[in-house]
Amino acid sequence: MAYKIIERRMIVPNLHEFIVEAPAVAESVKPGNFVIVRPDEHGERIPLSVADWDRTAGTVTSIFMQVGGSTAKLARLKPGNTIPTYVGPLGKETVIQNFGAVLCLGGCYGIGSIYPIARALKEAGNKVYSVLEARSSFLLYWEDKFHKVSDKVFIITRDGTRGKKGHIGQIPEMLQQAGIVPNLTIVNGCTFQMMRMSQITKPLGWKTIVNMNPIMIDGTGMCGVCRLSVGGKMKFACVDGPDFDGHEIDWEEFLARRKSYNPEEVDPLRHSSCRSHF
């Protein structure tokens, strides 16, 4: 079976919007799920979170960041091309209830993946406060979509070219000034951002859910590659998560495991003068 690419375009530098025709996935996908994609017959299977879907058209959208070999192959796909593997929806969906006030923090590809979560939380009657964080304004996307599903959208850029100048450490003060105390915080994005936000919210007693992104192979609990320690217990991100309580994760262990394949993944990219094999 081959899956047709409907769209693949760079929406901001290094981040691509990726829309695939996959009616069976589109029919049952929920916020917080992910898919496993293989860019070609010789490629690795890589997980990508879902960022949107159209059940009528049978399409599913992800936002991916080009970081290595597989995402470089995806970045070369054009509408009309096909990929051999598109498996999903995988993982447990994000718990959606009426919590009251929810802070949704997204950075990098997590701006895309937290969007359907914010939308579902709004539909469930929550006050939704979305925070989009980026190094600079040219790395922000989908702001218009967030305005439609949020009670307020906050922007933080490291260089101050949009919104508040600074970093996520200023979020508690920013919310306090707006008179907002979240009953739940959800973070999607890079590992460092999820770890840092969990460290910030822990002393404040703000319950914090993070969407973990370890290396995965099968995505179905068989290989054990995605294991992590949560509250002193071993969990598999692909079947027990990817959402976990950020205050219970052993971040040190997670970061060490995340780096374990760096020599194989990064060094070829760094030292190869010819990148045509990616």
Of 88 and 163, nearer to ligand FES (C-beta) is: 88
Closest by CA to 27, choosing from 48, 49, 56, is 56
Q: List, as one string, the DSSP characters of 195-207.
A: HHHHHHHTTTT--
Binding partner of residue 126 among ligand FAD, ligand FES, none, CB cut-off 5 to 8 Å per kind: none
Closest by CA to 108, choosing from 83, 71, 80, 54, is 71
Of 182 and 242, nearer to ligand FAD (C-beta) is: 242
Cis before 242? omega within 30: yes
| Span 232-271, contacts to ligand FES by CB under 6 A | 236, 238
Of 59 and 62, nearer to ligand FAD (C-beta) is: 62
Binding partner of residue 59 among ligand FES, ligand FAD, none, CB cut-off 5 to 8 Å per kind: none
Binding partner of residue 154 among ligand FAD, ligand FES, none, CB cut-off 5 to 8 Å per kind: none
Of 206 and 254, nearer to ligand FAD (C-beta) is: 254
How far, CA to CA in Å, does 218 sit from each of 91, 119, 215? 12, 29, 10
Q: Which residues bind ligand FAD (CB under 6 A)?
A: 34, 44, 46-49, 62-65, 67-71, 109, 113, 190, 213-214, 216, 237, 242, 258, 262, 265-266
| Span 189-228, contacts to ligand FES by CB under 6 A | 216-219, 221-226
Cis before 79? omega within 30: no
Q: How far is the CB of 97 from ligand FAD (least distance, A)?
A: 22
* Chain residues in the site for ligand FES (CB under 6 A): 216-219, 221-226, 236, 238
